[in-house]
Structure 1
C-alpha cells in the first residue's frame, strides 16, 4: 500500500533541501487549501478564495465573525505545527492542548485547550465517545502508545491511527476534527511527507471510513483514504519542481 508513496518521497528527497522561494510558495498554497477544506468539512461557509482574502487580512461581507476567526486560527495552528517539526519536539498532551487552544481562540476561550467536562455525542457516528471522567486516562494511554508502539507503523499508517484514535476519544467539546487533522499532518511532516488535505468533496467517504475504524476496528478504508490524500499531497511539489 505504501510503496508508491515511498517512491514519491524518495524522488522528492532528491530535490531537498528546497530553495526558500519554493518553500514559501508551497507553504502559501498549502495553508489556504488545508484551512479551507478542514474548516469546510466542519461547516464553515467561506469559499477557497474568501479564505485566501481573510488570511490576507480582509473582512468578507455577509460572513460570520466566527468563520473569519476559524480561518485565521487554523492558519496559526498550522504555523504552530510547523514550529513543532522544526524544533523536533516530542509528541505530548501539552502540544495537543496548544493546538486546540489556537483553533478555538476568540471563538470559545472558556473551552479552548481544556478537556470537556460533560458527555457528548458525535453527530452521525455509530458509537459515542468515552465518558468525560475517563478522558485523562484515555489521553495518557494515547501518548503512552505513541511513545512505545507508534514507531513500528509506517508513517502514513501512524498518522492515520493518531487521527482516528484521537477522534474516538473526542476530548474537547468542539474542534476535535480540525485538531485531529492537524495532529495527523504533524506526524506526516515529522517523517518528511507532504501534509494530507482531506477535501470537503470527500467528506462523506471520510466520515464513513472513520466510523468504520471507530465502531468496528476496520482500519483499511481509512488508511486507504489517507494514503490517497498523501499521494495527492505530492502533486504541488511535482508541479513546482517539474517532476
Structure 2
C-alpha cells in the first residue's frame, strides 16, 4: 500500500501547491494577495522573497520537474506533518513524546501497519500505567490517520470541505477515545459547553459559552458554505489569500465548538489542510510552551469577535509559517533548479 507521501507525489506534475478547481474544470492560476494587515507581518519574516513569490516559484519548479522533484521535498513535508501532529497534541496535553510521535506518524504516513495496543515486551510499555500509555499512543495514531484521511480527500481527490468530510475526520480522530458519554465520534454535540481560558501567567480563568447545541448544525452548514463560497470567489477573481482563508475558518470553527471534544485538533487539522492546498506548506506551533500560551491567548481574545475576521490570529499563522516557506524556497531555488522569479 502506498503511503501518503507516495500518493502526494502524483500531484507534482500539475504543480505544488496543488491548485485544482473544486468544480472539476481548468485548474485556477491564483495570484497570492495577502490582506493589508498581513503585509507587515510578511516583511518581518525577513525571508529572501515574499510569500507570493515563494509559492509561485514552487509551483513553476514542480510543474517543470514533475514527479522527479518530489524526492527533494518528501522528507521535509513528511517531517512537517509529524511536527504538526505533535504540536497540536501538545496544545491539548495529549499524545506522546516527540520520539514516539515520529515513529508512529512516519509509519502511518508511509502506509505501514501500526498496532494500536502496546505489547508488554515493547520498550514503550510502562508497568502500572498501561492504560495511560495506550491512550497517549492512540491519540497520536488517530490524529495522524485523521490528517492523512482529509489530505487524501481534499488535496488528492479534490473534494471540497463538507460537513460529511468534517464529521468523518472527527470520527477517525476520536475513534476509540470513548471514555466520555457526551462525546460521540463523528456526531455534533447535543449538550451545552463552555470554554475556559486565561492569559499566560494569570490564575483567574475566563469562561466563554459556546453556540448552543441546537444551533450547531445551522452554524456548521453556514460555516462550510461560507468557506466554499470564498474559495469559489477566489477561483473567479484569481486572487487567493491562503493565510486569511485558513485562519478565518479556524477562528469560526472554534467559536462554534461543534463537537463534545476534539474541537481544537479538528480546527488545526482543517486549517492546515487549507494551507497545504493553497500555500503548499503547513503552519507549525505548539511544541514549545510559549507557543501554546500565545496561541491560546490569541484564541481567547478572538472569542469576542465571532462575526469578524480574527486578523491577529491570521498574523500568528503567517508568522508560524516561516519554516514552511523557507523549506519551499530552498527546494524551489536549490542548485540545479532555475531561479524562476528573479
Do the structures match in fold with TM over 0.5?
A: yes
Q: Which moved more, 1:50-59 or 1:87-96?
A: 50-59
* CA apart distance, 1:10: 2.0
| Residue 261 of structure 2 is aligned to residue 174 of structure 1 | yes
* Structure-2-length-normalised TM-score: 0.65
* CA apart distance, 1:28: 2.6
Distance 2:230 2:103 in 1: 42
Q: Which moved more, 1:230-239 or 1:162-171?
A: 230-239
| Contact 2:160/2:228 (8 A) holds in 1 | no
Q: 1:212 aligns with which of 280, 298, 301?
A: 301
* Structure-1-length-normalised TM-score: 0.89
| Contact 2:195/2:210 (8 A) holds in 1 | yes
* CA apart distance, 1:27: 3.5
* CA apart distance, 1:208: 1.4
Match of 2:72 in 1: 22
Structure ranking higher in helix proportion: 1
Larger Rg: 2
Match of 2:82 in 1: 32
Report the number of matched residues: 243
Q: Which moved more, 1:143-152 or 1:180-189?
A: 143-152
Distance 1:137 1:218 in 2: 20
| Residue 220 of structure 2 is aligned to residue 136 of structure 1 | no
Q: Which moved more, 1:38-47 or 1:25-34?
A: 25-34
| Residue 244 of structure 2 is aligned to residue 154 of structure 1 | no
Higher-RCO chain (CA-CA 8 Å, sequence separation at least 6): 2
What are the superposed Cα offsets for residues 131-190 of structure 1, whole Å, 9 maximum, x if unpaired? 101111111111221233454561110100111100100000111011001110121122
DSSP-derived class of the 2:177 partner: coil
| Contact 1:26/1:237 (8 A) holds in 2 | no
Q: Within 5 Å, give how 1:48-197 maps onto structure 2.
A: 48-55=98-105, 56=107, 57=114, 59=118, 60-62=124-126, 63-84=132-153, 85-108=155-178, 111-124=184-197, 126-150=207-231, 151=233, 154-197=241-284
* CA apart distance, 1:95: 0.8
| Contact 2:57/2:332 (8 A) holds in 1 | no
* CA apart distance, 1:23: 4.4
* CA apart distance, 1:31: 2.7
Unaligned runs of 5+ in 1: none
Match of 1:228 in 2: 319
Unaligned runs of 5+ in 2: 1-37, 43-49, 108-113, 119-123, 127-131, 198-205, 235-239, 335-342
